[in-house]
Structure 1
Amino acid sequence: MSGLKIFFANLYDLLLLVAIWIAASVPFVLWQGGNFNDKPFLVLAYQIYLIAITYVYLTYFWVNNGQTPGLRTWKLQLISADGRIIGRNQANLRFLFAVMFCLIGWIGLLMPRQQLLQDRLAKTQIIDLKKSAE
């Protein structure tokens, strides 16, 4: 499978997440005003808030059908190593590893198996639905 498809599927999801972050930021900024950057505790709370939104967005799709909107658009699916849709624990692990390794996890796409580091660690894989149907 092409690592480019995985990259573009994740880029698509990132664009959707940015839109969600902007919409979710409006109430926070209205509540705190534009100068909440002066309060380190509020900055930390805001960052945790955005990470929580990201967690809910990604794990909801992973657990329900293995396809975020980006994966669905590129006809890809996230599954466990045994071929089933991942469960909540595996989704939590994958999200944790993705946050921990952030950009380093993408190096796996340059390897022969073209698998993200978080997928290797969480024992998940992204499959191409077009190739598996053949």
Structure 2
Amino acid sequence: MNELHFSVKASQSAKRQALDVIKQIQASNSIPIERVQMRLRIGIPKSKEIKQVRENVIKLVSSVEEDSWSNSLGYELICLIDPGQYKPINELLQAECKGQAEVTVLSISDSREEESSFI
């Protein structure tokens, strides 16, 4: 915080100040900080608009792990998303699929494990 010339202000909430300093740290690249990704399974039932709904959902995900089509079931996607995208994806699916889509959180953890070596 000293390197960023960030000073604590008694008149602001601790949460607001923590969010501000985290943004500054990310912008300066002095310490690499990333949000943990959520792993989701998204099921979209068979419909006329399924391809358009799929394209809109794909725009909101970070990476696709599995992408499969089924003639009887529709479409299933397993993906990683930024946690901030969960609500927009869920609202999109509820609006477009009229409550028929399924969103399941598979995990909320860091999928990358870094190896550390001690000398």
Return the structure number with greater relative CO, CA threshold 8 A, min gap 6.
2
Normalised-by-shorter TM-score class? under 0.3
Find the structure with the greater CA-based Rg: 2
Which structure features the higher share of helix residues?
1
TM-score under structure 1 length normalisation: 0.22
TM-score under structure 2 length normalisation: 0.23
Which structure features the higher share of strand residues?
2
